Structure 1
Amino acid sequence: MDNNNIANIFIKPDLGTLQHVVLVILGTVFVIQAMQKLFPWIADYLHGASRLFILAMIPLLRLILILAAFILIVPRIIEPSMQNMLALLGSIGIVLGFALKDYASGLIAGIVAVGERPYRNGDWIEINGIYGEVKHIGMRAVQIVTPDDTAAYIPHTKIWNEPILNANNGTPALQCVANFYLHPDHDASRVKQLLHDVALTSPYLNFDEPIAVVVQDQPWGTHYRIRAYPIEPYQQFRFVSDLTIRAKAGLTNLGIIFALVPAFPKNKEIH
């Protein structure tokens, strides 16, 4: 399509049209900004599934608002015919394909992420070794905050070729694991019962989810894992710390010996 044909697609602008377009853009930006502040504020007063539902609605509503603004603006600047729309979208697609290929891929991946929801606001995910809570799902990237309070911005294009590990997947149920490594000479039944009782008496325990104590023999000793769920996903680190501290105290009182692996300097040969 030549430049003259493209120019014929557009309606000659007037002051009213410009005012309408500007008002729609400003109104959309204002509503999106207000929503992105209001919804997290509301979510802070909620718990469990209600909190995660409110947070997960943000990117979906933002996409709906952007599409609505596009639908309101386009008929004001383009003659509303199927031929004109196809011609314009085809031209834009060619430009994006050559000039903004990576950015366009990120935008498409962002739309796919909103639709398929491999992660939502409030989910705890791991992508390419980075673990944290999803705080914001933008059009091009997802923002997660790690346990060390570091913000990481990961492009949505990672969903094309990277595994997405989602610890709670839109629910309040996030399994935590506390590990213990013991000398093999001990009463395994007694230790297992102690670890179960430790989990059962934690102030962070979600009683609606199961507790499991997994026992596995290793060449160096016995590996115990407490698998349980905190009340809220953000309590996972306090929960594991509570389990670890109280379980170690209980095991010490029973006279249990912990397994030790000697540490060798990196430059020292082991014979």
Structure 2
Amino acid sequence: MSIVFNVSLFSVFMFTLLNPVYAQIETQKLPDTGQSVQYDVKGKPLSISNSSLYTGQDASIEGNSLSYKDNEDGTVTDLNTGLMWQKSHDTTKRNLADSIKVINNMTLGGYDDWRLPTIKELYSLANCDGQLMKPESGQESRPYLDTAYFDFNYDKRIPFAGAFWSSTVYNKSAVQNFTAHGGLQGGFGFNFADGHIKSYETGLFFDQTTIQKSDHMFVPGNFVRAVRNTTTLYDMDYIDNNNGTITDQSTGLMWAKNDSGQQMDWVKALAFADNALLAGYSDWR
């Protein structure tokens, strides 16, 4: 699986390939991103015949296709990860603590062990064929989610407001130069409206003190989509192969141990991976 972010054409590049030896996980598979369209550096769709300069794009790599089962009880099972998800979502935006309370009291499909997903679990639902269109374009937006299985509606007033909480939090004090109460607590979320992973104020400081109106901080709140079951795909169980590569036993992916050592634009990065022969393998990407 590869991920394309339309943020910058420049990055320090690391590359990966599927490890053919890895076969321990039969029921849990790393989902693909769902992206089926190739693009040029200006964001314009490419026909296959014009994509030779962009070999190795996400859309050209065959992975584990997004695959779900509607359980007909308000839940959806991801057939790759084994995670069970809430089909619809509460349309009320809440801070993180209140969202967790709602989930802890939730019974759905006969189960009461629902929880908030980690950011990696939440992002596993991302369908990167999504596209947020400007209202004046006259074109319909596509959520970054498989709406054949999951419910999602754009807010016509604020079409980009579609963020969902994860349980993954961190201290934002270093970012915002804020040290009171141990720093500001941020929580990662994924926006199914525009495809962004971002950090949001949870409503708490890092010492669990509640943010008050007198603190003059805006806590917008997010939606939640609950999950149950667990997966080992994100355990990050690494082995050093002592040949310049690292194998992640959780996902079956093999990675270059070192990055490229130099910055390059996206097209050169694609070519760099495609031409790599690290450790005797020729299918790097």
* TM-score where L is the length of structure 2: 0.20
Question: Looking at both structures, which has the greater relative contact order when contacts are Cα pairs under 8 Å and sequence separation is at least 6?
Answer: 2
- Counting helix residues as a fraction of each chain, which structure ranks higher? 1
- Counting strand residues as a fraction of each chain, which structure ranks higher? 2
* TM-score where L is the length of structure 1: 0.21
Larger Rg: 1
